[in-house]
Amino acid sequence: MCELLGMSANVPTDICFSFTGLIRRGGETGPHKDGWGISFYEGKGYREFRDPEPSIDSEIARLIKNYPIKSKAVISHIRQANVGGICLENTHPFSREMWGRYWSYAHNGQLKDAKRRFPASFYLPVGTTDSEQAFCWLLAQLRLNFTDQCAIDPMGKALHGWCEQLREQGVFNMLLSNGDYLFVYCSTKLSWITRRAPFGKAHLSDVEVTVDFKEETTPDDVVTVIATQPLTDNEDWHTMQAGELIVFRDGEVVVRHLSEQEQTKTDQPG
Amino acid sequence: MCELLGMSANVPTDICFSFTGLIRRGGETGPHKDGWGISFYEGKGYREFRDPEPSIDSEIARLIKNYPIKSKAVISHIRQANVGGICLENTHPFSREMWGRYWSYAHNGQLKDAKRRFPASFYLPVGTTDSEQAFCWLLAQLRLNFTDQCAIDPMGKALHGWCEQLREQGVFNMLLSNGDYLFVYCSTKLSWITRRAPFGKAHLSDVEVTVDFKEETTPDDVVTVIATQPLTDNEDWHTMQAGELIVFRDGEVVVRHLSEQEQTKTDQPG
């Protein structure tokens, strides 16, 4: 398995604090040694840093930890390989251009028979992972059914349906972004937290680091962080349900869909 | 104007020496302060580092200078902006996936009326430069006329024709690669050098650095470096002709086309 980290914020914000916690899991407090990556949006601009080395040993991860790149949307991933060898082309996040924007994606989980069930068309995978196969299929579905002028509600609903199809083939926890929206789908394990005024202190679970967000923020800042497992041990994180899709923009929830199955369970009288 | 740097080699080779010379021109020995970028191929894997900051001040450039990433194909660019603001989405190299490979590109020059003359179709620009517009158009021409099974000779010939069309609209010095081939087109200014055994010493023009390639290489290594201006002052670089396209693979010239105009000039009795 792997671990995911995402951020959506209403002001360009650095992710150094959360990333410091995450990379410990890449060979120190966790077994995710098979590469790591992170992508940042700066307006329509996009850059990603990826390394097939364990994050804990990576020169580039050290730079990212210490060099604050400010962004409103971030996707990061540390990998413990199952399908596909350990090499750069199999290292998340993956990205493609669609509708004149860069789309970025990372996946945690494993899908059966991905190549046959989720055939590539418009976008082709470069590496050999089930994850990239699913990404190429998902983007093609979006491209075939929508344009960049479409509203987010129908797009979120359709994306939820496609993610449900993917989940039927295994485990599909996913982060997807075009820089404006961050689409988060939970198959088995994802948590999130929104930090806003009044800000307090947060303490990382994986390393002895505390940050006082009061000193780092202004009262209007809204910053949401999404992670496979909560990164701090003194805050309340929301646990996502299996089959739940949330779309964030500027740190706020703008669309949310539950699996019909789970929805039925929730609706039943207790 | 901008400066280009490319490399094609038959073994994974680091470009630290040449990059050390180039980045001096990004705000110190040269005026190219409006961002820089570099892309590396590692097998089918691809990564790029881009920064809208001057290369001479960039933390990330410092990392690249000191952290040897070994690659058989590299494209780098330092920018002095003309068309398009200084921001990440206008920073070269640009990349897109085609035929299951990442294609990377950087341009030096300026094109008149690029948006109208070289319309985007399959690939859309994310930023606002004439350079990215031309890249999207070029890739779409390749995609419409070839497949990944096609031989390099007809592809090189067709690419030369399209580059000639681009040159008619201004200045178009270009590097393009899919990791195997490095396509180099000269409109006004590009030089190249192939280093092979017996290796000697090379001395940078822009900074007091000498390297003895004998100590860095094996006798079978073939490494070609392409640059807007020669980077060393004690070696003989080839100066490309206006309208010349060279395709390198594993450091060797595999295809070469001259402009018909220049060809005629050369064929005339002296």
Residues of A in contact with B63 (CB under 8 A): 59-60, 63
With CB atoms and an 8 Å threshold, state whether B45 touches A101.
Answer: no
Cβ atoms of B57 and B87 within 8 Å: the answer is no
How close A201 gets to chain B, by Cα (Å)? 29
Chain B residues with beta carbon closer than 8 angstroms to that of A88: 42-43, 45-47
What is the rounded CA–CA span in Å between residue A88 and residue B36?
22
Name the closest residue on chain B to residue A52, using Cα atoms. Answer: B45
CA distance A123 to chain B (A): 7
B97–A43 CB contact, under 8 Å:
no
d(CA B124, CA A172): 29
- Which residues of B have a CB under 8 Å from any CB of A? 42-52, 59-60, 63, 67, 87-91, 96-97, 99-102, 123-127
List of chain B residues whose C-beta atoms are within 8 Å of the C-beta of residue A45? 52, 87-91, 126-127
Separation of alpha carbons B184 and B247, rounded Å = 6
Q: Do A45 and B102 touch (CB under 8 A)?
A: no
- pLDDT cut 90: percent of chain A above it: 77
Enumerate the H helices of chain B as residue ranges. 16-24, 59-66, 114-117, 130-145, 152-167, 260-267
Contacts of B17 (CB under 8 A, 6+ apart): B202, B204, B209, B211
Mean pLDDT of B138-142: 98
Q: What is the pLDDT of residue B109?
A: 96
CA angle A247, B46, B30 (to 5 degrees): 105
Instruction: Please state which CATH class domain B3-267 belongs to.
Output: alpha beta
Q: Which residues of B199-209 are buried (b: 16+ CB within 10 A; e: fewer)?
A: beebebebeee
> Contact B4/B106 with Cβ under 8 angstroms?
yes
**Predicted local distance difference test score (pLDDT) of residue A270:** 44
Nearest CA in chain A to B132: A100
Report CB contact under 8 Å: A46, B88: yes
Backbone angles phi, psi at A65, to 5 degrees: -65, -35
H helices of chain A, in order, are 16-24, 59-66, 114-117, 130-145, 152-167, 260-267
pLDDT at residue A84, as a whole number: 84
Residue-range domain boundaries for chain B: 3-267
Query: Model confidence over B209-227: pLDDT tens digits?
Result: 899 999 889 999 999 999 9
Indicate the residue of A60, A88, A100 with minimum beta-carbon distance to B126: A100
Measure in Å the smallest separation between the Cα of B106 and chain A Cα atoms: 16
Using CB atoms, which residue from B42, B50, B63 is nearest to A63? B63
Using DSSP bridges, classify how beta strands A101-111 and A170-177 pair: parallel, antiparallel or unpaired: antiparallel
Q: What is the dihedral of CA A239, A46, A101, A169, to 10 degrees?
A: -40
Burial A137-171 (b: 16+ CB within 10 A, else e): bbbbbbbeebeeeeeeeebbeebbebbbebbebbb
Q: For residue A42, what are the contacts with CB-CB under 8 A and spacing of at least 6?
A: A12, A69, A70, A71, B87, B88
Residues of chain A with pLDDT under 70: 1, 262-270
CA dist., res. A130 & res. B54, Å (int): 39
Residue B29 pLDDT greater than 80, yes or no: no
**Residue A201 structure tokens:** 């202190």
Which residue, among B59, B60, B132, B148, would best test binding to A if mutated, counting the most A CBs under 10 Å from its CB?
A: B60
> A97: which DSSP letter?
E
Q: How far apart are CA B47 and CA B67, in angstroms?
A: 14
Q: Kindly list the residues from chain A whose CB atom is less than 8 angstroms away from the CB atom of residue B51.
A: 47
CA B59 from chain center: how many Å?
23
Q: Which residues of B touch A60 (CB under 8 A)?
A: 63, 67
The answer to whether the Cβ–Cβ distance between B46 and A88 falls below 8 Å is: yes
Give the pLDDT confidence score for residue A27 in this predicted structure. 72
- Residue B83 has a pLDDT of 80
Work out the average pLDDT over B125-151: 97
Query: Which DSSP helix (H) or strand (E) runs through A46?
Result: strand A45-51
Bigger pLDDT: A55 vs B44: B44
Q: Which of A103, A268, A83, A99 is nearest to A181 (CA)?
A: A103
Half-sphere exposure of A267 (CA within 13 A, CB side): 7
DSSP state, residue A100: T
Residue to test with chain B: of A42, A89, A92, most B Cβ within 10 A: A89
Cβ within 8 Å, pair B87-A43:
yes
Q: Given a cut of 80, is residue B264 above it in pLDDT? A: no
Calculate the CA A206 to chain-centre distance: 19
CB B134 within 8 A of CB B115: no
Number of A–B residue contacts, CB under 8 Å: 78
In chain B, which ranges are E strands?
3-13, 36-42, 45-51, 71-78, 94-98, 101-111, 170-177, 181-186, 191-195, 201-203, 210-212, 223-227, 238-239, 244-249, 252-257
Q: Decide: A108 and A99 in contact? Cβ < 8 Å.
A: no
Q: Helices B16-24 and B59-66: crossing angle, nearest 10°? A: 150
Checking if the pLDDT of B45 tops 50, the result is yes
Is A46 in Cβ contact with B126 (below 8 Å)? Answer: yes
Residue B268 pLDDT grade (very low, low, confident, very high; cuts 50, 70, 90): low
**B87-117 pLDDT, tens digit each:** 999 999 999 999 999 999 999 999 999 999 9
Dist. CA B183–CA B137, nearest whole Å: 16
Q: Which amino acid type is present at position B238?
A: H
Chain A interface test: which of B34, B86, B89 (most A C-beta within 10 Å): B89
| CA–CA separation, A7 and B71 (whole Å) | 32
Q: What is the mean pLDDT of residues B8-23?
A: 92
Q: Known catalytic residues of A?
A: 2
Q: State pLDDT tens for residues B46-82.
A: 999 999 988 888 889 889 888 889 999 999 999 888 8
- If one counts every other C-beta atom within 10 angstroms of the C-beta of residue A214, the result is 12
User: Is there a contact between B67 and A60 if contact means CB atoms under 8 Å apart?
Assistant: yes
Angle (nearest 5°) at CA A174 between A206 and A187 = 90
Compute the distance between CA of residue B84 and CA of residue B130 in angstroms, rounded to an integer: 8
B48: chain A residues, CB-CB within 8 Å = 47
Chain B hits for A63, Cβ within 8 Å = 59-60, 63
